């Protein structure tokens, strides 16, 4: 954003040395008719349309505006290229039609109106704006006006991305995931497209930390996170929400097809190479899935989480290494149903662990039925 503005800036020629923090006033002159090709786009523009526009544009960034012309995010050319390179050829991976908002690391907070200001277009048309350039190692990284500081997106984007990313798995963190859940819930409410929430727990993960060390535990978490991400579509959101707990949002995931990604995830995680000192032969997941088919107005995101969590709890109570799902709409809700369960080899470590947790299974099942009675 600032790079585009500074193309028209008139800055004094005297160098500002990094070791001598002196600043010189300048005049930020902005053209009243700047090129807008692929520089400012509307929310809802498809990824494919953005890619075509950026291909024909000199801009490195595109500003995304909502219907009120408020800036809600910024997308870089590099980010777009990484996204399209990651997109799979799976027929269900309709990345080309996804809106550009799905690429944004985080949404920008709406501006707080503290006073009545003239329209930015009118300010631009007025000509010069007094500013102080901020120079770092011979490069302009921002400008300071009387009212604000405008920083280079090159400097801001890494900080925003880090704030929204889990440092162990490089997935979205809980804060980012909950923000995306609200955004996608609102979008599905408008579009009437189904929305699925998956919750995952790594089975017996404490063993990994206890027997192999926390460094190995972090490596396992990173491998599980990448495995889950690779098993879903490029635009589905995967996050680590705490400890060995992961979550995923699957857009337009129909109830009749939700079993396939769940089984694909389970199979992918079982193929992860486990640490040599771990007696278990493979990693497994317990999964809870809730799919809202319709009736978004009658539900909340908190209720969606409760449904998915109840299914996850039932997966654990039933012996782990399985997935339970529930389908929700405005008229009826199905009972939790097991959609993915792998058998253990008799005598294996996993088999023994499984049966150790079956001792009080009847009592646990009774508790689960009680806890989910309000959901079904």
pLDDT at residue 375 tops 90: no
pLDDT at residue 16 tops 60: no
Residues 322, 349: Cα–Cα separation, whole Å: 17
CATH code, residues 174-371: 3.30.70.270
Nearest to 28 by CA among 12, 39, 16: 12
- Taking residues 111-117, what's their average pLDDT? 54
Which two structure tokens, joined as six digits, stand for 151? 């920083």
Give the per-residue pLDDT at 92. 64
- Taking residues 356-366, what's their average pLDDT? 41
85 exposure class (CB count in 10 Å sphere: 0-12, 13-18, 19+): exposed
Give the per-residue pLDDT at 168. 95
Residue whose structure tokens are 């909340």: 300
Q: What sign for the dihedral angle of Cα 349, 351, 354, 359? A: negative
pLDDT tens-digit map of 45-74 = 998 888 888 888 888 888 888 888 888 888
pLDDT at residue 1 tops 50: no
The H-or-E segment that residue 311 falls in is: helix 301-317
Give the per-residue pLDDT at 278. 86
- Whether the model clears a pTM of 0.85, i.e. scores above it, the answer is no
Nearest to 188 by CA among 103, 104, 99, 263: 99
Spatial neighbors of 173 by CB under 8 A, at least 6 apart, are 164, 165, 166, 239, 240, 241
CATH code, residues 2-163: 3.10.580
pLDDT at residue 20 tops 50: no
The domain locations on the chain are 2-163, 174-371
Give the per-residue pLDDT at 372. 41
Nearest to 79 by CA among 62, 93, 97: 62
CA distances to 80, 96, 233 from 52, rounded to whole Å, are 11, 11, 22
**From the CB of residue 6, how many other CB atoms can be counted at a distance below 10 Å?**
18
Residue whose structure tokens are 């786009």: 41
Give the per-residue pLDDT at 237. 93
pLDDT tens-digit map of 170-223 = 999 999 999 999 989 998 998 889 999 999 999 999 999 999 999 999 999 999
Nearest to 183 by CA among 230, 134, 251, 130: 251
Give the per-residue pLDDT at 332. 61
For 135-154, the three-class secondary structure string (H helix, E strand, C coil) is EECCEEEEEECCCCEEECHH
Give the per-residue pLDDT at 35. 55
Which two structure tokens, joined as six digits, stand for 280? 């278990």
Give the per-residue pLDDT at 301. 94
User: Which is higher by pLDDT, 228 or 157?
Assistant: 228
Residues 309, 266: Cα–Cα separation, whole Å: 18
- Taking residues 318-324, what's their average pLDDT? 92
- Taking residues 109-130, what's their average pLDDT? 56
Same topology for domains 2-163 and 174-371, yes or no? no
DSSP state of 211: H
Classified as helix, coil or strand, 39 is: coil
**Diameter of the chain by CA atoms?**
81
Residues 352, 279: Cα–Cα separation, whole Å: 12
- Taking residues 220-245, what's their average pLDDT? 93
Residues 205, 162: Cα–Cα separation, whole Å: 26
Residue whose structure tokens are 């579009």: 191
pLDDT at residue 14 tops 90: no
pLDDT at residue 121 tops 90: no
pLDDT band at 295 (very low <50, low <70, confident <90, very high): confident
The H-or-E segment that residue 41 falls in is: strand 40-42
* Length of the chain (residues): 376
pLDDT at residue 359 tops 70: no
Give the per-residue pLDDT at 321. 93
For the chain, give the percent of residues with pLDDT over 90.
32
289 exposure class (CB count in 10 Å sphere: 0-12, 13-18, 19+): buried
DSSP state of 318: T
Query: Measured in whole angstroms, how far is the alpha carbon of residue 307 from the centre of its chain?
Result: 21
Weakest-pLDDT range from 95-104, 108-117, 139-148, 265-274: 108-117
Residues 14, 158: Cα–Cα separation, whole Å: 30
**From the CB of residue 107, how many other CB atoms can be counted at a distance below 10 Å?**
19
């Amino acid at each position: 954003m600032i790079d585009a503005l500074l193309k028209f800036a008139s800055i004094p020629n005297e160098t500002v040395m990094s070791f001598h923090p002196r600043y010189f006033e300048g005049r930020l002159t902005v053209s009243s008719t700047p090129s807008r090709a692929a520089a400012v786009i509307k929310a809802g523009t498809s990824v494919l349309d953005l890619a075509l526009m950026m291909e024909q544009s000199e801009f490195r960034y595109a500003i995304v505006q909502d219907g009120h012309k408020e800036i809600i995010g910024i997308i870089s050319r590099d980010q777009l290229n990484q996204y399209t390179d990651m997109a799979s050829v799976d027929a269900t991976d309709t990345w080309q039609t996804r809106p550009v908002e799905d690429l944004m690391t985080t949404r920008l907070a709406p501006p707080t109106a503290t006073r009545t200001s003239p329209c930015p277009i009118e300010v631009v048309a007025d000509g010069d704006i007094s500013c102080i350039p901020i120079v770092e190692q011979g490069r302009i990284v921002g400008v300071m006006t009387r009212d604000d500081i405008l920083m280079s997106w090159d400097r801001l984007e890494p900080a925003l991305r880090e704030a929204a990313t889990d440092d162990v798995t490089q997935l979205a963190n809980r804060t980012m995931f909950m923000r995306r859940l609200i955004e996608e819930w609102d979008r599905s409410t408008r579009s009437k497209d189904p929305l699925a929430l998956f919750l995952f727990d790594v089975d017996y993960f404490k063993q990994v930390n206890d027997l192999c060390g926390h460094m190995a535990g972090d490596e396992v978490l990173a491998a599980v996170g990448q495995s889950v991400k690779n098993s879903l579509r490029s635009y589905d959101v995967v996050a680590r929400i705490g400890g060995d707990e992961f979550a995923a949002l699957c857009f337009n995931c129909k109830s009749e097809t939700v079993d396939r990604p769940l089984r694909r995830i389970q199979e992918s995680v079982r193929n992860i190479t486990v640490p040599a000192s771990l007696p278990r032969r493979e990693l497994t997941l317990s999964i809870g899935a809730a799919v809202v088919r319709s009736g978004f107005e009658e539900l909340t995101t908190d209720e969606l989480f409760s449904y998915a969590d109840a299914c996850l709890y039932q997966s654990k109570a039933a012996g782990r290494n399985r997935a339970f799902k529930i389908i929700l709409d405005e008229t009826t809700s199905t009972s939790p149903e097991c959609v993915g369960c792998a058998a253990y080899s008799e005598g294996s470590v996993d088999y023994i662990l499984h049966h150790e947790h079956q001792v009080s299974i009847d009592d646990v099942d009774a508790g689960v039925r009680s806890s989910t009675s309000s959901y079904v």
